[in-house]
């Protein structure tokens, strides 16, 4: 091998060594950044959980009224066929399935 080829191989080795070092440094940096981010996320979660509990305590009456209102089932509107066959409805066709009485008109 000539001296120029040896110099080229040496520079290629240095290039890959630096490239590998940058890769390892970025990988370790990513792991450290992820660990810090997870710690911050956990502290934020605990902070907001405590804040939510305090707010729930401060607004206990309002929350209980809201929960009570949500627990009461709201009646669903009747379908068209139920409205038509319902003798208590005020539709023009309420006489269709009633107990046999005929309309006056």
> What six digits make up the tokens of 5?
């080829």
Q: Is residue 91 part of a domain?
A: no
Q: Which residues of the chain have pLDDT under 50?
A: 94
Helices within 59-85 (DSSP H only) = 60-71, 80-85
Q: Is residue 98 part of a domain?
A: no
Distant-in-sequence, close-in-space partners of 95: CB < 8 Å, separation ≥ 6 = 101, 102, 103
Which pLDDT belongs to residue 56? 87
Which pLDDT belongs to residue 100? 56
Which pLDDT belongs to residue 63? 87
Domain boundaries, position 51: 3-85
Phi-psi region of 100 (alpha: psi -120 to 50; beta: other; left: phi over 0): left
Q: Is residue 9 part of a domain?
A: yes
Which pLDDT belongs to residue 94? 46
Which pLDDT belongs to residue 75? 80
Q: Is residue 94 part of a domain?
A: no
Q: Is residue 54 part of a domain?
A: yes
Q: Is residue 93 part of a domain?
A: no
Distance CA 55, CA 45 (A): 15
Q: Is residue 102 part of a domain?
A: no
Which pLDDT belongs to residue 71? 86
Tell me how many domains the chain contains.
Answer: 1
């Amino acid at each position: 091998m000539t001296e120029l080829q040896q110099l080229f191989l040496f520079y290629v080795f240095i290039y890959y060594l630096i490239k590998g070092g940058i890769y390892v440094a970025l990988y370790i940096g990513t792991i450290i950044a992820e660990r810090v981010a997870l710690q911050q996320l956990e502290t934020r979660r605990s902070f907001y959980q405590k804040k939510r509990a305090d707010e729930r305590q401060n607004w206990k009456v309002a929350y209980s009224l809201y929960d009570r209102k949500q627990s009461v089932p709201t009646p669903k509107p009747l379908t068209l066929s139920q409205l038509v066959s319902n003798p208590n409805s005020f539709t023009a066709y309420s006489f269709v399935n009633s107990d046999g009485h005929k309309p006056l008109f």
